[in-house]
Each structure stands twice: as C-alpha cells, then as structure tokens.
C-alpha cells in the first residue's frame, strides 16, 4: 500500500504573463489540485499515488510524464481515448489579479467512475485525499469520491477532504448538497475560512459563523477541522477539544495559486510522520509559503532537506 492515494482532474495548464485577449507568450505546465498534493508529498519522500484519467493525447502524455518524473505513482492512472485531457488557461490580467479559463467539460477526467477507481482502492493506502473539485466534475466522479471515502473509512484509512470550492464549476448550494453524504467518512476536513459555510450549507440547522460551523462539523464526526487563513496561517480544531493556531511564514508573494494544495501536502506529511498538532500546522504553513513564494502550483515545493530553506534571511545566496 502507498501512504496517500488521491485522484481528480489534472489539466494541461497554459500560463500567460498578460491578458489573453491581446495575446501573450505562454508557459505550459500541468496542474490539478490533487496531483499538486501528490507531488508535494512525493517531494518529501512519502509514497503518493494518483489515479485520475487523461485523454490519449499530448497533454495526457505530459501529465503522466510529469507525475512519474516527480515520483508520484501512476500505475492506476487511466488513459481514455474517447475524450480529451482537460485544459486550463491562467492569465495575469493585471499585476495582482489572475483569471482562470477552463476547457474541461466532457474531459477524460470527468469519465471517472467507481469501477475505474476500484483497482487503486484495492492496492490500499494509509490516507485517502479528496477534494471538492473532483466532486464537481459530474455524477461519475462524485460517486467515485463517495465510494472511495466509504471504502477508506471501512478499512481504517485516514480520509482527508479539502473543500476547494470552485465557483466556476458549481454553486455553493450544489457543493453543500453533494458533499454532505461524504462527511460521515471524513477524518480531516480542510477548508479556507470562507469555505466553511459551503460545507455546512446543507446542514439542517445551518450554523452561523466560524465557531459554530467548526463545532457542527466536529459533531458530524470529523476528528479534525483545519482552517486555512491565507497570509495569517492556519488553525486546527480537534474533536477532543484542543485547538491550535500557527501564523504563516513571511515570504515575498509570487503566485498564490496552489498554496492550499501545498498546505494540504504539508499537513498530510505531518500526519504521516506522527507530528503533534502545532508541528503539523507548521509544516503545512511551510509548504503553503513555498507555493506562494514561487511560480507555478507545485514547481517550487521543497524536498525534505529544503524544509528549513525559508528561514534564511531575505536575499540570501547559498554557496
Ligand atoms: P487557498 O489557496 O486554498 O485559497 P489560502 O490562501 O488560505 O488557501 O492559503 C493556504 C495556505 O498557504 C495558508 O494557510 C498559508 O499557510 C499559506 N499562505 C497563503 N498565503 C500566504 C502568504 N501571503 N504568505 C505566507 N503563506 C501564505
Ligand atoms: O489549487 C490549484 C488548482 O485550483 C489548480 O491548479 C487547478 O485543479 C484545479 C482547478 O480545478 O482549479
């Protein structure tokens, strides 16, 4: 068995330094919330496997090659000739504002079903990592996420769910309804502070405010609720009543996309290493800081021997 199994949609990603409407030179890469997490974990030496679907096309080949090059297991990834790999274009519209465009409806990744995922589940894992994005891709991926969560729960794995709400894919109301039946299987819920109402939207007594939302989630059976607070860091609420907050690292901001995924990788790494709560948050914040201080979702994430790198004084040259 691997340490962490994850799956979802990884896309060909085109990054433009300026507005698309007038044309700009592009950089191509691959990105997907779950594969970002898998790469972050693999860089730290954990065994991570990604079991998504790609098309039988050049973007699909780039995705699999990239994941293999990052030591992410792809033995259970699938290639579907009947649909294309999804794509995403990210334009820096103005200095501090990035706009995303998707080409992902009817993509290969949206063909995922519980049957396609079964071999990966049979392999076993210590942790299953899910995100709300996969649940938004269509009925097959939602069912696959649900069955994976039920299987993992029944086999005693840790089940992590990052809410990762994407307004471009579905409404908060639809997300709340779809995620509700999954929650009984979730061990660790990870959400930004503004995503908590998305998950609790479908609760019978809709809790108002962060404190009540967290309490309602812990009552629903989760062991831990982890709240991401951007440049302020993060908080961890444990079912046993303990609560920890750890500030973010201070780093120059290059590209904030991918920070949440890096954070998840750091948190799960801390869990796998058996770190105490505050140390798990510190590792999560450290990976989030690496993501914001470098271009790309995952390209700048640290290897284990680089975890302390951000403690260096600004402007340091290591020689
Ligand atoms: P998301 O990318 O999912 O919206 P956040 O913006 O909350 O999530 O960022 C996730 C984590 O990344 C934060 O909890 C923090 O650890 C780190 N992070 C985000 N922004 C910054 C920043 N400006 N400086 C340092 N760390 C940051
Ligand atoms: O978290 C970063 C991801 O959002 C990303 O790179 C692409 O998976 C993605 C999505 O659906 O937006």
DSSP sequence for 60-78? HHHHHHHHHHTT-B-TT-E
**pLDDT score of 85 more than 90:** yes
ipTM of this complex > 0.90?
yes
**Domain assignment present for 103:** no
Longest dimension (CA), the chain: 59
Q: Is 24 part of a structural domain of the chain?
A: no
Across the range 125-130, mean pLDDT stands at 98
Q: Is residue 294 part of a domain?
A: yes
Substitution candidate for ligand 2 out of 12, 13, 27, 31 with most atoms within 8 A of CB: 31
Report the CATH number at residue 258: 3.40.1190.20
Whole-number Å distance between alpha carbons of 55 and 69: 19
Q: Measuring from atom 5 of ligand 1, which residue has the nearest CA?
A: 230
Domain that holds residue 59: 2-6+33-83+110-303
pLDDT at 18: 94
Total count of domains within the chain? 1
In a domain, 25, yes or no: no
Check pLDDT > 90 for residue 315. Answer: no
Angle between the N-to-C axes of helices 259-272 and 33-43, in degrees from 0 to 180, rounded to the nearest 10: 50
The answer to the question of residue 92 being in a domain is no
Tokens of 137: 């891709």
Q: Which two three-digit tokens encode residue 76? A: 């259970």
How far is Cα 193 from Cα 210, in angstroms, rounded to an integer? 7
Measure Cα distances from 60 to 82, 84, 106, 191, 193 in Å.
13, 8, 15, 29, 34
Q: Where does the pLDDT of residue 95 fall: very low under 50, low under 70, confident under 90, or very high at 90 and above?
A: confident
284 CB near ligand 2 (under 6 Å): no
> Contact 51/6 with Cβ under 8 angstroms?
yes
Confirm whether 89 is domain-assigned: no
* Ligand 2 centroid, distance to 23 Cα (angstroms): 23
213 assigned to some structural domain? yes
Q: Is there a domain that residue 130 lies in?
A: yes
| pLDDT digit string, tens, across residues 18-35 | 999 999 999 999 999 999
Q: Please state the rounded mean pLDDT for residues 128-150.
A: 98
């Amino acid at each position: 068995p691997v340490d962490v199994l994850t799956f979802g949609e990884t896309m060909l990603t085109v990054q433009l330094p300026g507005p698309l409407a007038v044309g700009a030179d592009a950089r191509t890469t691959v990105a997907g919330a779950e594969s970002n997490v898998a790469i972050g974990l693999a860089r730290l030496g954990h065994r991570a496997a990604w079991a998504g679907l790609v098309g039988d096309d050049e973007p699909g080949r780039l995705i699999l090659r990239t994941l293999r090059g990052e030591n992410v297991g792809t033995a259970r990834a699938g290639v579907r000739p009947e649909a294309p790999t999804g794509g995403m274009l990210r334009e820096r519209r103005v200095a501090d504002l990035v706009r995303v465009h998707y080409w992902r409806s009817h993509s290969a990744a949206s063909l995922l079903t519980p049957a396609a995922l079964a071999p990966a589940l049979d392999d076993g894992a210590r942790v299953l990592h899910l995100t709300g994005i996969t649940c938004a891709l269509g009925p097959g991926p939602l069912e696959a996420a649900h069955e994976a969560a039920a299987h993992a729960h029944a086999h005693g794995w840790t089940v992590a769910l990052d809410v990762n709400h994407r307004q471009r894919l579905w409404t908060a109301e639809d997300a709340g309804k779809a995620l509700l039946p999954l929650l009984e299987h979730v061990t660790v819920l990870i959400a930004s502070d503004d995503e908590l109402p998305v998950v609790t939207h479908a609760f019978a007594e809709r809790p108002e405010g962060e404190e009540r939302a967290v309490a309602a989630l812990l009552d629903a059976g989760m062991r831990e609720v982890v709240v991401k607070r951007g440049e302020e860091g993060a908080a961890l609420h444990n079912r046993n009543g303990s609560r920890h907050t750890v500030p973010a690292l201070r780093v120059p901001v290059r590209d904030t996309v991918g920070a949440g995924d890096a954070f998840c990788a750091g948190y799960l790494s801390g869990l796998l290493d058996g770190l105490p709560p505050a140390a798990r948050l510190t590792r999560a914040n450290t990976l989030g800081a690496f993501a914001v201080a470098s271009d790309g979702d995952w390209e700048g994430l640290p290897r284990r021997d680089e975890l302390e790198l951000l403690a260096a004084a600004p402007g340091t040259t290591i020689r």
